[in-house]
A and B are shown apart, each in its own frame.
Chain A
């Protein structure tokens, strides 16, 4: 079965430091991959998505992610963390399930990012 794993339920960085949030997936077919962010008491907001074009995807707020097929990974990075980046981040994968083509998203467990001054 297809699945998504986010390594590390909590990540803590200092302001200005590199942010790296890890996501690995398992799929027997090419996936579509997404990163979403959720601020407290809000819904999910799309950061970026991979749809088999460029393997390095740039998103909003300075985030980017690289699709590595050989490693089945789609890690999210940002060169310099800002206090406003503190939130929960979700990796999600969309698969062609059983011949249907609808966008059934499978989400990872989420990673809470804390940014220290």
Chain B
């Protein structure tokens, strides 16, 4: 595997389900990010991790719970979601958290909440 991978690619879940999204980066990066991409809205940064420590929570509802066990893996735990949470969830990584570092994105998980 190369780059940033995300699993699953597609997920359909009910409002009472609990599921997790997984992201793995094979680039030796130290910072990882979760974004939400909804139709007709700009990409929204959700969480930032730098060396496994969360450095940003962009006012995300508590039904989204991130976990970063190491610099290569990032999870997004989902529970009691709402239909408006249906979106493409993108994971990204960068060499560091600095301003000039470009972010590398995974292919995303298309989430549908029914």
Closest CB in chain B relative to A77 CB, distance in Å: 20
Pick from A46, A49, A101, A102: contact of B104, CB below 8 A: A46
Q: Does A12 sit within 8 A of B, measured CB to CB?
A: no
Interface residues on A, range: 20 to 34
Residues of chain A whose beta carbon lies under 8 Å from any beta carbon of chain B: 32, 34, 36, 41-46, 49, 51, 90, 94-96, 100-110
Pick from A41, A96, A109: contact of B99, CB below 8 A: A96
Residues of chain B whose beta carbon lies under 8 Å from any beta carbon of chain A: 4, 6, 31, 41-43, 45, 48, 50, 55-56, 90, 92, 94, 96-108, 110
Q: Which residues of B contact A108 (CB under 8 A)?
A: 42
- Knowing A51-B100, A94-B99, A110-B42 are in contact, say whether A104-B56 is a contact too (CB < 8 A): yes
Residue of chain B at shortest CB distance from A36: B105
- Knowing A32-B100, A43-B108 are in contact, say whether A102-B90 is a contact too (CB < 8 A): no
Q: Which residues of A contact B56 (CB under 8 A)?
A: 102, 104
Q: Which residues of B contact A95 (CB under 8 A)?
A: 99
